[in-house]
Amino acid sequence: MTTTALLLLLSAALIAAGVALVLRDVHRGRREAFLPRGNRPSAASADPELEVTVAHRAAEPATRRSALSSASLSASLSGSAPPSPPPGAAPAADAPPQWAALQPVLARAVEQVNAVLAAAGAEIGAAGEPSWSLNRRYGIYRRILLRGESVAWLRIEIDTAGQLQAAVKSHKDDLAALNATADIAAHGLTVAGASDLLSECLKPVASFAMRAAGGGNTEQRAGEAAWKVVDPVVAAAVKAADGALAQAGARFIPVGTPAWVPDARRYRWTVTVEVLKAEAARMHVERVGEEIEIAVGVPDARLAHLGRRQRLPVAGLTTHALAELIAGCTWPAIAHRREAS
């Protein structure tokens, strides 16, 4: 594994997000109808939250660890100021013999990794003064910067057995996902090996930086573009169904405009289905991969059997076909409301 791993992580995430809309639903499979949460009053002005129920590397030189093994890192790296050497610690002049030889190698490795991280606005900062840690490791601290702001410490240190460790510890608990460690034998360390070490423990930082730089919005933009393709047909079909079912006392009232739903990770248009001026159901219109999905849910869990969820392929989609699907999915709820009135 080389520093290319970080570059691949930054670029592949952007590519993968564009197809995540399709992959997510391939793995999920077909879903059943939804129920609005709780038994709510059937008022047109109500906007209940809807809940969907789902039915149907030679070995690597650097090994990432899930928790920090350095006691000094876990005990004292909770703030933005680097920890002080422990009382009575040996002076920095008593550095291990290997330390001086490692410095040019580590400096070059930091340059290489920074060249990759720069694409996402992240950077390994300048080295601080070397010191001994509580567990008798000798090393330095560097800041991890995100768009100029320090978000974590990077501790690079060597132990008495000649093992070099790199560990990231965030300043704040809510960024604990950045924390990671990796180690490698210091003897004969090359720039490539040191770059691998840093790359391994900085993978979480790279992912976080990519998302903070806007990569996390790629999926949303892809979803918006996909929705715009079908939006005119969807709008026309809802209008056509509204006209056709008006004689049954039904009305289709849009709740706002189509919007991105983070939890569902796609665009959704919610429409209230009224019958005789009372809310009978809610309808979701979504593009799921290469299909349009119509999902109808009712506010009363006892009437869940009135809900419907069906799809049509986007290819060849027509207003007439979609309007018929909308009418078919909403009719059970409409008929029940009419009978109960």
Strand order in the sheet with 278-288: 250-261, 266-275, 278-288, 291-297, 308-313
Name the range with the highest mean pLDDT among 43-57, 83-97, 204-218, 268-282.
268-282
179 phi and psi, to 5 degrees? Answer: -65, 135
Mean per-residue pLDDT of the chain: 78
Residue 116 binned pLDDT confidence (cut-offs 50, 70, 90): confident
User: What are the beta bridge partners of residue 166?
Assistant: 156, 182
Distance of CA 197 to the CA centre of its chain: 25
How far is residue 325's CA from residue 152's CA, in Å, rounded to a whole number?
53
pTM of the model: 0.45
Which of 44-58, 101-115, 228-242, 254-268 has the lowest average pLDDT?
A: 44-58
Which of 93-107, 205-219, 302-316 has the lowest average pLDDT?
A: 205-219
Residue 5 binned pLDDT confidence (cut-offs 50, 70, 90): low
User: In the chain, what is the straight-line distance between the N-terminal and C-terminal CA atoms, in Å?
Assistant: 69
Classify 252 in phi/psi space as left (phi over 0), alpha (psi -120 to 50) or beta: beta
Average pLDDT over residues 33-59: 40
Collapsing DSSP to helix, strand or coil, 331 comes out as helix
Q: Does residue 76 carry a pLDDT above 60?
A: no
Instruction: Record the tokens describing residue 241, joined without a space.
Output: 């169904």
How far is residue 129 from each of residues 126, 157, 237, 256, 339, measured CA to CA in Å?
10, 12, 68, 58, 80
Q: Rounded to the nearest 5 degrees, what angle is found at the Cα of 209, between the Cα atoms of 195 and 58? A: 30
Contacts of 159 (CB under 8 A, 6+ apart): 135, 136, 137, 165
